[in-house]
Chain A
Amino acid sequence: MWTQLDSGFGYWNVFVWLLFFVALSCFAVWIRSLGRTDYKRNTDQDEIYWSGNEVPDDGAEISVPASSSYWGFRVAMEPLYALLNRFHSGSASDYAGYFIVTTALAGLLILLGGE
């Protein structure tokens, strides 16, 4: 079958999943249809709710910048990131060195490793 993938351990059929998504979408549309439609447009009723404060004109003032995302993850992994940043030094000499060391290490392992 064109839409079914057999891995040897199990199978995957795309259209079963697509049917599931269609059913889920219908359910979501049904939930949405239960909402009230009698609100007054272009009044405070269709304003964005921002914790009761006035929404600034420029979105930049209320955006979370990408560099602040996953702040906790970054802080928790700080020692590892410090190591990785040192590794990515930006120095071409370092990069050439990594290449030579990797080649030597691969050679050593293949020579000692046997078949």
Chain B
Amino acid sequence: MNLSDHLPAFLVMIPLLGAFLTPLAASFGKTVRSVFFVLFMSLILLTGISICASTFGGNILVYVMGAENFSLTLPSGMSYPVRILFEIDAAGALMILCVAIAAFAGALFSVAYMDRFSGWKRFMALYFLLSAGALGMCATGDLFNFFVFVEVSSIASFGLVAFWRDKPEAIEAGFKYMLVSQIAAMLLLIAIGTLYGKYNAVNMGALSSMMRYGTLERIVLAILISVLAFKCGAFPIHTWMPDAYAETPSGVTCLLVTVSQASFYGLIRVCFSLFPGIAGGGMVAWILIVLGCMSMFFGVLMAVVQHEIKRLMGYHSISQVGYMLLAMGVGLLALGNGEKMAEYGLTAMKGGLFHVMNYSFYKALLFLCAGALYYATGTRDLDKMGGLARNMPWTAGMFVIAASAISGLPPFNGFMSKWMIYESSFAVHPILPAVAMITSVLTLASFAKVFQAAFLGPAKADFVAVREVPAFMLAGMAVLTVMTLLLTLFPGWFTGNLFEKAAEALLNQRGYIDAVLGGM
């Protein structure tokens, strides 16, 4: 048996196994628990890297569960797949890599961060489940399985948002997120059920090959766009995000950032692979562009005036999602027109995917820095902080890197992805990059405020005894800092080997269908 053939199964199996073994591992004490947690997250990271290596040559990994053979997509006598099926191309692999790295960094950070608190068993089990859900969303080729993984990640995240049960704010944030999320989940199930009722299939490749673009399909697409835009935090359906991000333990917020990106991946997969005939070139593209511009502008406008650090960063998440929606909207606008795609569409898509990876790392790092500040000072209120750079030099240094990157300062990676988005969206209309640039300036203003308030200025009497956070927390932050710097220093390599391949995979609808149906 060649283990590498089963990588897609390991991707979900390892975190699920981790979740089930958590009560056992946690009963052996702190050291065993920590080693177990980091070891399992390392295995997930290794699996993610291996999957990336397998797919960036242009391969599409297909894995069938429950069949006589894991590569048997079509049971004998049947025209369409009926089993649990994973289908991972370069776009899916890119997202898996983002989730796996953020999950690993968040786990390292949490080993020390959560040590002060009780409820480790719950925390670890939910963290594993959240990872499994997010990885499954990126790996699956089946709409119903996608729904199941969305629910796995949602249920785990409800528990983690409300993890500190003694804090009313956490319970409230968890409840609100759960309420709206469940309405979205029901609509998602109705949309998938509608497609199943009409086409007798839920496999995305099979559906894509049969899709006729009538009224019913348009309604289904509208529901899917709305649900997935809600899950990734687009304006005006973003309202759960600042509350949830602010109240969640920071190691989890780091992972939640990539979970929202898994939903964003679902959104672009639906538009590019399932409904390209409706989504390409018209109203759907403009819906994404408008949602993107509103998210960018109103997200950052709300962020500028916040003084609770994680809430401020939560609003910035909405703003950053706006860049990606804008990029993918511009890509969709060019879909089906070779000339426009060559002129600006492909650049927009590469820029958008570049921004997905950048955002996954620098935003996750910013949340970890916010967690480090909370750990050291016991407050999230920027009004109470000050002069911490002297006592926490490593945290301050890594914060500067992440803040510069998210603000789009050259030569950091955030600048490069934004630059690609500015240039490509300019070809559609000059107002689009103008909105994006104003957003970037306000982002810089906002993070300059955070840096000044938390790290600069005279030391405050309450924080004279503050010391740098423990090594495990610094290690988690360092993983994301290294990734941010690698993306900064080698943008050509990452674009040529990752983002371009991922963008081409999204555009290759025929290849996505054929990988499952075998060229039928």
**Chain A contact residues, CB within 8 Å of chain B:** 1-10, 12, 14, 17-18, 21, 48, 55, 57-60, 62-67, 69-70, 73-74, 77, 80-81, 84, 87-88, 92, 94-96, 98-100, 102-103, 106-107, 109-115
Q: Is B278's beta carbon under 8 Å from chain A?
A: yes
A48 to B406, CA, bound (A): 33
Q: What 1/0 flags go to B354-397 for Cβ under 8 Å of A?
A: 00000000000000000000000000001101110000000000
Q: Is B215's beta carbon under 8 Å from chain A?
A: yes
Inter-subunit contact A88/B492 (CB<8 Å): no
**Chain A neighbourhood of B344, CB < 8 A:** 8
Note all chain A residues with C-beta closer than 8 A to B215.
Answer: 111
* A84/B491 contact (C-beta < 8 A), A73-B304, A111-B219 known: no
Chain B 392-451 residues near chain A, CB threshold 8 A:
410-411, 416, 419-420, 423-424, 445, 449-450
CA distance A63 to B461 in the complex (A): 12
Chain B residue contacts of A55, Cβ below 8 A: 458
Bound CA span A73–B305, Å: 9
Q: Which of B152-204 contact A (CB under 8 A)?
A: 175-176, 179-180, 183-184, 187
B66 CB within 8 Å of chain A = no
Residues of B within 8 A of A113 (CB): 282-284, 286
Q: Which residue of B lies closest to A77 (CB)?
A: B301
Given A10-B423, A60-B461, A92-B180, A106-B222 contact (CB < 8 Å): yes
CA distance A88 to B302 in the complex (A): 10
Beta-carbon contact of A3 and B489 below 8 Å: yes
Contacts of B340 in A (CB 8 A): none
Partner of A109, one of B283, B459, B488: B283
How many pairs of residues, A versus B, come closer than 8 Å at their CB atoms? 177
With a cutoff of 8 Å between Cβ atoms, the chain B residues found around residue A63 in the complex are: 386, 453, 457-458, 460
Contact with A along B302-328 (1 / 0, CB 8 A): 101101000000000000000000000
Main secondary structure of the interface of A (DSSP, over half): helix
Using Cβ atoms and an 8 Å threshold, which residues of chain A touch B410?
17
Q: A74-B305, A109-B287 are in contact. Are A3 and B237 (CB under 8 A)?
A: no
Cα–Cα distance between A103 and B385 once the two chains are bound (Å)? 41
- Contact indicator A107/B458 (Cβ below 8 Å): no
Q: List 11 A-B contacts (CB under 8 A).
A: A3-B491, A7-B423, A8-B423, A17-B411, A59-B457, A95-B240, A96-B180, A99-B184, A102-B237, A106-B222, A107-B222
Nearest B residue (CB) for A12: B416
Enumerate chain A residues within 8 angstroms of B227, measured Cβ to Cβ.
103
Residues from chain B with a CB closer than 8 A to the CB of A99 are: 180, 183-184, 226, 230, 237
Given contacts A103-B222, A110-B222, contact A1 B237 (CB under 8 A): no
Question: Would B423 and A95 count as touching, CB distance under 8 A?
Answer: no
Of the residues A17, A107, A115, contact of B278 by C-beta under 8 Å: A115
A8 to B341, CA, bound (A): 11
Which partner residue on chain A sits nearest B420 by CB separation?
A7
| B70 interface contact, C-beta 8 A | no
Across the interface, which residues of A come within 8 angstroms of B179, CB to CB? Answer: 92, 95-96
Q: A7 to B499: give the CA distance in the assembly, Å.
A: 12
B239 interfacial by beta-carbon distance below 8 Å: yes
Q: B420: which A residues are within 8 A, CB to CB? A: 5, 7
Q: State how many angstroms separate the Cβ of B224 from the closest Cβ of chain A.
A: 10
Residues of B whose CB lies within 8 Å of any CB of A are 175-176, 179-180, 183-184, 187, 213, 215, 218-219, 221-223, 225-227, 229-230, 236-237, 239-240, 242, 277-278, 280-284, 286-287, 298, 301-302, 304-305, 307, 343-344, 346-347, 351, 382-383, 385-387, 410-411, 416, 419-420, 423-424, 445, 449-450, 452-453, 457-462, 488-493, 495
**Across the interface, which residues of B come within 8 angstroms of A17, CB to CB?**
410-411
Residue of chain A at shortest CB distance from B336? A115
Complex contacts, A9 vs chain B, CB 8 Å: 347, 423-424
CA distance A94 to B383 in the complex (A): 30
Residue of B nearest to A60 (CB): B460
CA distance in complex: A111, B215 (Å): 7
A17 to B491, CA, bound (A): 13
Whether the pair A12, B226 counts as a contact (CB closer than 8 A) is no
Cβ contact within 8 Å between A80 and B218: no
User: Told that A65-B383, A66-B383 touch, could you supply 6 new A-B pairs with CB distance under 8 A?
Assistant: A5-B495, A12-B419, A63-B386, A65-B382, A74-B304, A110-B283
**Nearest Cβ on chain B to A106's Cβ, whole angstroms:** 4
Given contacts A87-B236, A111-B219, A115-B282, contact A59 B459 (CB under 8 A): yes
The list of the 8 closest CB pairs from A to B, nearest first, reads A113-B283, A59-B458, A66-B382, A107-B222, A66-B453, A103-B226, A65-B383, A17-B411
- Which residues of the other chain, B, contact A115 by a CB distance below 8 angstroms? 213, 277-278, 280-283
Q: Hey, which chain B residues are within 8 Å of A4, CB to CB? A: 491-492
- A residues less than 8 Å from B457 (CB atoms): 59, 62-64
Q: Knowing A70-B445, A99-B180, A113-B282 touch, does A57 contact B222 (C-beta < 8 A)?
A: no
- Residues of chain A within 8 A (CB-CB) of B176 are 92, 95
What distance in Å separates the Cβ of A91 from its nearest Cβ neighbour in chain B?
9
Contact A110 B298 (CB under 8 A): no
- Are A57's CB and B461's CB within 8 A? yes
- B184 cross-chain contacts in A, Cβ below 8 A: 99
List residues of chain A with CB within 8 A of the CB of B301. 77, 80-81, 84
Contact present for B237 and A67 (CB under 8 Å)? no
Which residues of chain B have C-beta atoms less than 8 A from A109's C-beta?
222, 283, 287
